[in-house]
Chains A and B, each alone.
Chain A
Amino acid sequence: QVQLQESGPGLVKPSEDLSLICTVSGGSVTSEKSYWSWIRQTPGGGLEWIGHIYYSGNTNYNPSLKSRVTMSIDASKKQFSLTLRSVTAADTAIYYCARDNGYPNNWFDPWGQGTLVTVSS
């Protein structure tokens, strides 16, 4: 059974870049059915999809964040990553990685446990 685990710094300074990695176990990131997503949850509880990446490297990003987001994938390490540039306090959130199984199964399952990232000087 596929499991996901996020890792990265818990504290980032304003204007710097936030970088996170998701490690996949129990399955392959090269599954043709799977898209690998990043989702964040603000302190108020709202959930926001950030974007996803396919094993080929093709990406789709939330238009509201597109100018600041880059995702990449390393199949050999069974990892995919998120970089969010020029962060502000509004980027403080729990960041989750998750899988969606592509059209028409585009719901998220499973999710990682999440990692809290705080933006503060």
Chain B
Amino acid sequence: DIQMTQSPSTLSASVGDRVTITCRASQSISSWLAWYQQKPGQAPKVLIYKASTLQSGVPSRFSGSGSGTEFTLTISSLQPDDFATYYCQQYHSYYSFGQGTKLEIK
């Protein structure tokens, strides 16, 4: 099975900062990767799919890149609503998720 590893596990940042979260796959998954945002008490919500395609309605400050085994999610200018937990998910072979990155207010 494919293991997904995110880093960092926790990230402290301020409104207006540019932040990057990394996700690594244990084997190549081509571009079959999605990113989700989860807020407390809510289900995850998809932000990006196929590694870099923005889901409809998601602000353009979110972007994704990468292919193969290394991927990044970037938020260009943090807004108060962005403080949440982020997960990557591969769908190359079955489905598996990273352990999550909690984005906290500094």
- Annotate A56-80 by CB proximity to B: 1 below 8 A, 0 otherwise: 0000101110000000000000000
| Max chain A Cβ within 10 angstroms of own Cβ: one of B1, B49, B50 | B49
| Max chain B Cβ within 10 angstroms of own Cβ: one of A64, A112, A114 | A114
Contact A63/B1 with A46-B99, A105-B49, A109-B55 known, Cβ cut-off 8 Å = yes
Classify the interface of chain B: helix, strand, loop or mixed.
loop
The answer to whether B44 and A106 touch across the interface, beta carbons within 8 angstroms, is no
What is the CA–CA distance of A63 and B2 in the complex, to the nearest angstrom? 12
Quick one: which of A45, A60, A107, A110 contacts B85, CB cutoff 8 A?
A45
Contact A45/B44 with A104-B50, A107-B34 known, Cβ cut-off 8 Å = no
Q: How large is the interface on A (under 10, 10 to 19, 20 to 34, 35 or more residues)?
A: 20 to 34
Contact A107/B96 with A45-B85, A47-B87, A63-B1 known, Cβ cut-off 8 Å = no
The answer to whether A114 and B43 touch across the interface, beta carbons within 8 angstroms, is yes
Binding site for A on B (CB under 8 A): 1, 32, 34, 36, 42-46, 49-50, 55, 85, 87, 89, 91, 94-97, 99-100
